[in-house]
């Protein structure tokens, strides 16, 4: 059975945590889907991971739609959520128009927006239009320069209280889940207790209702940024490098292709 918004909501406070990974292409989507991931997040992090940008800022709707379509072709059970890139939800009408493109053209099940009170009207318009919305608080990469860079958020009392207020507001506005990125574990736990929707942490401690990581970080692809909160479950960067080197050596010395690999 395909994972639904109702399934995600039912995980609030459950012993069965929500599992999510980022995904940007068809083949990876098929593999992660078969592995049983609840959510595949087509993050605008693809700007850094797949396109080589220094941040998520340059990512466009065209970029995102291209990758969302590919992921949706590979995902048969996982719930696909599309990140709305910077500049795609500056006002409510634009937010609804672009979210509908993600769902109608891309095939996504939901969209994710960064921010709290400042995007209140956008979220109100999206939920009124029947678009499932995932929120995102804490370290919001699209506004990282305003936050002092990629650093832990909510360490001071005022910062922490502001995040809790935004979380309660987003919950009241009807988000079906809330990503908490790079906040102290105690704050992750407090937000989780304060809202009715499930929380999904990425560097927010173990008390959230689920966890998400960038797949390439989790697989050990040796990406430029290496956050403290990442646990590597493989070392694919080294494995790919070794395989490519062996292939090159075999070709150069005439060992590939052999007779059994030739017509």
Q: Which residues are catalytic?
A: 181
Q: What number of other Cβ atoms are within 10 A of residue 54's Cβ?
A: 9
Assign residue 254 a region: left if phi > 0, alpha if psi is -120 to 50, beta otherwise? left
At which residue do the structure tokens 């072709």 appear?
73
H or E stretch including 128? helix 120-128
Give me the phi and psi of 92, to 5 degrees please: -60, -45
27 sits in which H/E element: helix 26-34
Q: Please give the sequence-ordered ranges of beta strands (E in DSSP) within 186-236, or none if there are none.
A: 199-202, 210-213
């Amino acid at each position: 059975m395909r994972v639904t918004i109702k399934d995600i909501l039912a995980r609030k406070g459950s012993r069965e945590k929500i599992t999510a990974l980022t995904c940007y292409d068809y083949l990876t989507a098929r593999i992660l889907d078969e592995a049983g991931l609840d959510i595949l997040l087509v993050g605008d992090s693809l700007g850094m991971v797949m396109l080589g940008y220094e941040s998520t800022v340059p990512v466009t709707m065209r970029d995102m739609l291209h990758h969302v379509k590919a992921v949706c072709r590979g995902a048969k059970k996982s719930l696909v959520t599309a990140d709305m890139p910077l500049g795609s939800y500056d006002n409510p009408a634009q937010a609804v128009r672009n979210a509908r493109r993600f769902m109608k053209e891309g095939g996504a099940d939901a969209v994710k927006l960064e921010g709290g009170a400042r995007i209140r009207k956008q979220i109100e318009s999206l939920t009124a239009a029947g678009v499932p919305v995932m929120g995102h608080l804490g370290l919001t990469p699209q506004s990282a320069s305003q936050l002092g860079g990629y650093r832990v958020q909510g360490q001071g009392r005022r910062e922490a209280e502001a995040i809790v207020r935004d979380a309660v507001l987003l919950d009241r506005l009807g988000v079906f889940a809330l990503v908490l990125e790079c906040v102290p574990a105690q704050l992750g736990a407090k937000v989780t207790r304060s809202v009715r929707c499930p929380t999904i942490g990425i560097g927010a401690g173990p008390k959230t209702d689920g966890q998400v990581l960038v797949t390439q970080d989790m697989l050990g692809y040796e990406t430029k940024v290496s956050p403290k909160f990442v646990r590597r479950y493989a070392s694919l960067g080294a494995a790919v490098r070794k395989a490519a080197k062996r292939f090159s050596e075999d070709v150069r010395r005439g060992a590939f292709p052999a007779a059994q690999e030739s017509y």
